[in-house]
Structure 1
Amino acid sequence: MVMYRGDKWHGIMTYFFEMFLQRFKYCYNFVRPADRLWGIRLANGSFNGMMGMLNRKEVDIALGPFGVSYDRSQLADMSHPFMFIDHRIMYPRPQVEPDLRGFYRPFSPISWVVTFSTLLAVFLCLFAIAIITKLAMSDRLQGHPPTFTNILEEGGRIIRWTYGILLSQSMSWTPSQGSGTVLLWIMFSFILSTIYKSNLKAMLILPKITIPFDTVEELVEQDSIEYYILGSTVIHQVLRDAPPGSLYRRAYDKKKGILSGSLTPIAFTLLEEKAAFMTNTLVIKSLMEMAFVKEKDCSQATTREGYLKLFMGVILLPKGSPLVDEVNRVVQAVFEGGLMAWWEDQALRRGSICFNTLATDRKVDLRPLSLEDMYGIFLLYAAGMILAAIVLAFEVINRKVSGEENRE
């Protein structure tokens, strides 16, 4: 890649070209395509970008590096491959977001179902033991059987005790019957509450970061992040020419748009719109380098899995160019000496660091809890207040019923 900054040309391929010139002593002039594109075949059969310049014999060499495609191989001679270009999806680095269901997440849904089912079973068991005991005592002492009010009061005491023990509350009353069930419920509640508090604390200290997608298929299926494609490149051509209904064609049809030209405005567009980008890893590192300069942080991440793997980076020359053998000798020396990786590290040091930083990596700084983090607790509190109001209404009705029975 070659970029113009200030009054100088920069980029990985300028290092290669300087080495080529030192060896063969050619005079040169960098020419930038007017449309700032790599180049693909258009509908009328012509080529745009650097490919079009090669086709029209306007330049003697196109540095690229280019991905290999059939159309390009028919138009130009290719150097030996000197790098392997993978394709990935770049997207805004996911952040720790407030979670409305944070208090609910320490247990899975089935665990909550089992917990409350056990709570109900313990209540019914203790309630049944209490009623059977009262009925047996009334028969033995030939007294009056328990009234409906007595049964409700006993049920209320048992449910308050059962629920209170689950919440680790100190209870002034304990069921006198079913000591085995009582002991097991106390032990179960203690273990359950300890596990819940430990898991909740761990989730608050190290919250889980959700990755929006990691494959092209997941990108197409989701709707939360829009994405662009780098225009006039191999990925653009492959997605555009894919069979209708295929994964790549669906990815092409669902795109928000195509970005092409200079990488600087592309980087700023992606940052502003918080959009994803489908392109090769070299372009991704360049965009991450620019984003780091602007944001002072690794604000972008990439998918862990690539697609369209092992597209070899090559230099293109017009068909029959006498420079092919000379370029290949330099390419071989660069490849065998590992210079391309070193040049990449020198030109895109910060971009390479951001590229190799996983999307799930988090900063050491602790995130203060926001109001949104407390919404779940507030909703739970509101539900508790509603339940308390229902219980209060029940107790008022119960007192009225008890008063009427006493007057009778």
Structure 2
Amino acid sequence: MTNSSTRPCLRLGIGPFMPYMYVDGPDDNPIVTGILPAILDIIFNHLGYCYEYVTVPSRSGGFRLPNGSWTGLVNMLLQKEFDMSGLPLALTHERYQALDMTEFLYIETWTAGFKRPVVQSDISGFVKPFSEYVWLFIVAAILGVLATIWIVYTSHESIVKSKNRGGRAESDHEGTPNVTQESVLWTIALFLAQSVTKLPRGNSVRVMTGVWLLVSLILTTVYRSNLKAMLILPKVVLPFDSPEELAESRIPTWIPRGSAMHTAGLKSDISPPGSALARVLQHSISLDQSMDISWGVRDMIAGKHAMISPRGSLITIMHDTFSKTGQCFYYVMSEDLLGTVQLSILLRKDSPLKAELDPIIRRLREFGILDHEYKKQVANATECLKPIGSQGARQLRPLDLGDFYGVFMLYAGGEDVPER
């Protein structure tokens, strides 16, 4: 692309970096789309420059080799094959030493994406109507009521025996009751809404069991009202959602060659030995291999490896796939592998363009124009960024046998008395 102007024409080195720039077609006549073409039009129309794109043959940002030389876009910029980069690249320490950077355009973080997990049945749904604290309270209440009924019942029987000692006992007090057995029966059976064949003896015991019957009615009514939903509520198990979980999963990782993370991964001192990031990179399958982006995305969706990339790039792929298919094929880890990095346009040292570009970029950022252009490129990724399982209206799941395990366990424990 060439933008006509009365001022000298600038040559801009370009390569693909989603969503900031897409480069298709032959190197001598590329088709360039994305965020940066619109931003560059604004900048250079204001400055009065014309510009043309120069495609980097390797399509990579470039990294420094052990002998001190550079590859990719950085090498061509240092060799003066173009005046500046036409896309924003991550500001690393090595690039900072070799080049100048403009004001940052965007802030990026590095994370990982992986095949979207399948919604599963949850056989523990029958315990989920109440939280852990409520279940602890219920257990404590059962034990407390059991102990109270046993003590009151034992005291009642002792009083009855002392009154009838030396004489014939009344007919309703004939026989020796099993205090422990009947206390357990009145406590557990009432809580489970089961019928009790024996009536409590004595007013004090009847008051205790009556209060417990009311409490049990409230608890079981609330439980039953939530039980059905919890039994069929789908469960989602993420393979990983943090760097530590990714390291422990031992899932192979793939990093786009020539990226800042790839450059860092080639170094042995990227992070302390034994750290989560170091263990993740131990399972990388791309540090010494050159594989294209489409291959990496394809195998990530197939679940063959996790793709480590800037969060914006992963979200852009979500936008593209959802726009074409209406489906979400993978998820993005909520935590970051690396902290924030600045994305800036690269310039040679002491380039006069820096003084002209910085004020304009700063104003574009402060007025929200950069954010506006970014959101236009990833608008359809919103649905895929929702919590997994929240797209129930779009993805219906047939019930399987696992959905009924909780019901089978309840029936195995006994049936409720039919309501009258």
Q: TM-score, normalised by structure 1?
A: 0.72
Counterparts in 2 of 1:151 and 1:116: CA distance versus 1, 3 Å: farther
* Matched residue, 1:232: 258
* Matched residue, 2:17: none
Shift in Å, 1:273: 0.8
Would you say the 8 A contact 1:85–1:313 is kept in 2? Answer: yes
* Matched residue, 1:196: 223
Would you say the 8 A contact 2:146–2:184 is kept in 1? Answer: yes
Query: Is residue 286 from structure 1 mapped to residue 346 from structure 2 by the alignment?
Result: no
Would you say the 8 A contact 1:37–1:261 is kept in 2? Answer: no
Would you say the 8 A contact 1:232–1:260 is kept in 2? Answer: no
The 1-side partners of 2:123 and 2:91 are apart by 48
Give matches, 1:121-140, under 5 Å.
122=145, 129=153, 133=157, 136=161, 139-140=165-166
* Matched residue, 1:265: 295
Counterparts in 2 of 1:382 and 1:274: CA distance versus 1, 3 Å: farther
2:125 alignment partner, SS class: coil
The 2-side partners of 1:150 and 1:32 are apart by 97
Shift in Å, 1:66: 0.7
Shift in Å, 1:252: 2.7
Shift in Å, 1:103: 0.6
Shift in Å, 1:374: 1.7
Query: Is residue 248 from structure 1 mapped to residue 271 from structure 2 by the alignment?
Result: no
* Matched residue, 2:21: 2
Shift in Å, 1:4: 3.1
* Matched residue, 1:362: 390
In the alignment, residue 200 of structure 2 is paired with which amino acid?
P
* Total equivalences in the alignment: 375
What percentage of residue pairs aligned between the two structures are identical?
A: 27
Shift in Å, 1:68: 0.8
In the alignment, residue 391 of structure 2 is paired with which amino acid?
K
Query: Is residue 223 from structure 1 mapped to residue 249 from structure 2 by the alignment?
Result: yes
* Matched residue, 1:406: none
Gap runs ≥5 in structure 2:
1-19, 170-174, 416-420
Shift in Å, 1:104: 1.5
Shift in Å, 1:69: 1.2
Would you say the 8 A contact 2:256–2:293 is kept in 1? Answer: no
2:108 alignment partner, SS class: strand
Give matches, 1:307-386, under 5 Å.
308-319=338-349, 321=351, 323-325=353-355, 327-328=357-358, 331=361, 334-335=364-365, 338-351=368-381, 353-354=382-383, 357-359=385-387, 362-363=390-391, 365=393, 369-382=399-412
Would you say the 8 A contact 1:264–1:290 is kept in 2? Answer: no
As a proportion of its length, which structure holds more helix?
1
Counterpart among 175, 189, 201 of residue 176 in structure 1: 201
* Matched residue, 1:163: 188
Gap runs ≥5 in structure 1:
144-148, 386-408
The 1-side partners of 2:379 and 2:290 are apart by 24
The 2-side partners of 1:205 and 1:381 are apart by 16
The 2-side partners of 1:33 and 1:100 are apart by 55
Would you say the 8 A contact 2:121–2:400 is kept in 1? Answer: yes
The 2-side partners of 1:218 and 1:32 are apart by 37
RMSD: 4.2
* Matched residue, 1:74: 97
Shift in Å, 1:15: 2.4
The 2-side partners of 1:280 and 1:174 are apart by 70
Counterparts in 2 of 1:31 and 1:205: CA distance versus 1, 3 Å: same
In the alignment, residue 176 of structure 1 is paired with which amino acid?
R
Counterpart among 8, 20, 33 of residue 57 in structure 2: 33
Shift in Å, 1:88: 3.9
The 1-side partners of 2:224 and 2:115 are apart by 32
The 1-side partners of 2:411 and 2:284 are apart by 43
Would you say the 8 A contact 2:119–2:389 is kept in 1? Answer: no
In the alignment, residue 267 of structure 1 is paired with which amino acid?
V
1:86 alignment partner, SS class: strand
Would you say the 8 A contact 2:189–2:195 is kept in 1? Answer: yes
1:9 alignment partner, SS class: strand
Q: Deviations over 1:340-367 (max 9, x none)?
A: 223223333223x357x44367135376
The 2-side partners of 1:293 and 1:161 are apart by 62
The 2-side partners of 1:339 and 1:101 are apart by 49
Shift in Å, 1:102: 0.8
In the alignment, residue 55 of structure 2 is paired with which amino acid?
V
Query: Is residue 83 from structure 1 mapped to residue 106 from structure 2 by the alignment?
Result: yes
* Matched residue, 2:4: none
